[in-house]
Amino acid sequence: MSREIPAVEATDLVKRYKLRNRGLKKEFWRFFSIVFGSGGPTLTALDHINLEIAKGEVFGLLGPNGAGKTTLIKILCTLVLPDSGRAKVNGIDVVKQPRKAVKILQAVLAGGTGFERRLTARQNLELYATLYGIPKNVARKKIDDLLEFTHLTDRADSMFQRLSTGNERRLLLAKALLKDASIILFDEPTTGLDPIAQAEFRDLMKDVLSKQEGKTIIVSTHNLWEAEQICDRIAVLQKGKITAIGTPSEIRHAATDWTSLSIGLAPPVAVKIPRVAEEFRHIDGVSQVELSENKDGSLILLLEGEKGMDYNKVFEMITMMKFKIKSLEATRPSLESAFLKLVREDGEAVDHAEIEEEARINDGTAN
C-alpha cells in the first residue's frame, strides 16, 4: 500500500547564515563575498532537520528566540533557500518548484503584513484576491464573508493605517484565508491580539481550519499554553536542532521525569509527622516528601520524584501504617516545565534574528 504524501517533509535540512565582523578591513572580503557568494564564518540556523507533518495536522514549532523556527517557516514558504537537504510541501520540492509550492501554501508571517497603508481593508483584500488569481465575482463574495468572519465588516472601508493592531492581525488572517491553501503557516499568530481574539483565533485554527476544512496548520509560537491547546504535535527547536517531537503529552513526559502525587490520608491514631515522612523518603524514586496535618487530624502527603517512582511501595507503606486514603491526585508535568528543561539542557539560545541582521549588514545587504 502506498504511503500518503505528507503535507510537509523536511529531510536533512541545513541552513547557515554568513557572519562577518564589521570594519574597513573586512570590506574587501565583503565585496569578494558579494561577487562570489561564499567564504567567511557562518552560523547554523537549521542543523540537519528531519520532519514530517501529516495532512490535516496542527503542528507547533516551539523554541526560544533564534532557535530557527522562522528560518524553517521561510524555507517552506520559498522565501529562504536552504544550504542543503530537501523540503517538500504536498510532495512538491520548495527549492526546485517554488512557484508551484506557493500555490498550495499560505503564510502569516510575523514581520510585514504586505498591506498598503493608504488602501482600505477591502481594497487591500481585493488587490491580493487578484494577485492570487481569484475571479472577481468569487472574490467579492469571499471578501465579504471573510470580513464578517474576522469581525471587520464595520472597518472594511477604513484605511489600513487607521486599523488597530488587533484589527491589522484580523485582516492578515482574512488575507491568509482568501487563498484556498491546503497548508497554512502562522508565525506568532496571536501576538498583539486581545484575549478574546486569541481564543477565537485558536478555535479557528483547531476547529474550523483543521477539523472542518482539513487544512494543515503549522504554528510557530512562544505561547506554550496555546501550543498545548491547539497542536496535535509539537517540535521543540533549539539552536537549529529538533530536541523533542511528539504530542504535547509525549513532550511533557519525554522531557521531564518529574511526577507528583498528592494523597489525603486519615491516620488511625496520632502520628509523628517527621518519622512518617522519613519512611516515605526511603522509597525508590521519591526525591521530596512533604507531610502536613489538617485541623481535623487528616494528613496531606505530597510526594515528588522521578517518573519511575515505586508506586507499589508507596501504597504498601500506606497500608502498613493503616492509613485510610481519602483522596488521591497525580500532577503531571506542564509543557512549560518540559520546554524549559529541554531548552536549558542545551545551554543559552543563540539569537539568530540578531545574527541574521548582523550578517545582513556585514554582507553588503545594507549598502
Partner 1 sequence: MMELPIDLKKIAALTQRDIRNWSTYKTAALTSVLGTLLGVASWGLSTTYRNRAVPDYNTDYVSFLITGVIIANLILPLGQGVQKGLNPQTIENILMTGMPTPTFVLGQVMWPYILSVIFLIPQVFIGVYVFHAHLIINYVSLILAVAISSAIVFSFSVISTGMRIVTKVNDPFTWAISVMSQIFSGMTFPVSHLNDYIPGLSTVSWFLPQTWIYHIVRLATLEDGSLTQPDVATSFLVTLVIAIVLVPISMRVFQWGLARAKRDGSLGHY
Binding site for partner 1 (CB under 8 A): 15, 17-18, 27, 34, 37, 45, 71, 74, 77-81, 83, 98-100, 102-103, 106-107, 109, 111-116, 128, 131-132, 356-357, 359-361, 363-367
**Least Cβ distance, residue 18 to partner 1 (angstroms):** 7
* Torsion angle defined by CA atoms of residues 68, 74, 79 and 85, in that order, rounded to the nearest 10 degrees: 70
Instruction: Quote the CA–CA distance of 358 and 203 in Å, as a whole number.
Output: 38
**Least Cβ distance, residue 74 to partner 1 (angstroms):** 7
**Least Cβ distance, residue 210 to partner 1 (angstroms):** 21
Q: Which is nearer to partner 1, 72 or 219 (CB)?
A: 72
Q: For residue 290, which of 278, 298, 308, 282 has the smallest C-alpha distance?
A: 278
Instruction: Quote the CA–CA distance of 88 and 69 in Å, as a whole number.
Output: 16
Q: Which is nearer to partner 1, 45 or 343 (CB)?
A: 45
**Least Cβ distance, residue 129 to partner 1 (angstroms):** 10
Q: Which is nearer to partner 1, 105 or 314 (CB)?
A: 105
**Counts of helices then strands in the chain (DSSP H, E):** 13, 14
Vertex 186: Cα angle to 183 and 192 (nearest 5): 155
| 138 grid coordinates | 468569487
Q: Which is nearer to partner 1, 168 or 304 (CB)?
A: 168
**Least Cβ distance, residue 150 to partner 1 (angstroms):** 18
Q: What is the 3-state secondary structure (H, E, C) of 38-76?
A: CCCCEEEEEEEEEEEECCCCEEEEECCCCCCHHHHHHHH
Q: Which is nearer to partner 1, 30 or 155 (CB)?
A: 30
| 204 grid coordinates | 479557528
Q: Which is nearer to partner 1, 29 or 315 (CB)?
A: 29
**Least Cβ distance, residue 200 to partner 1 (angstroms):** 23
Q: Does residue 176 contact residue 209 with C-beta atoms inside 8 Å?
A: no
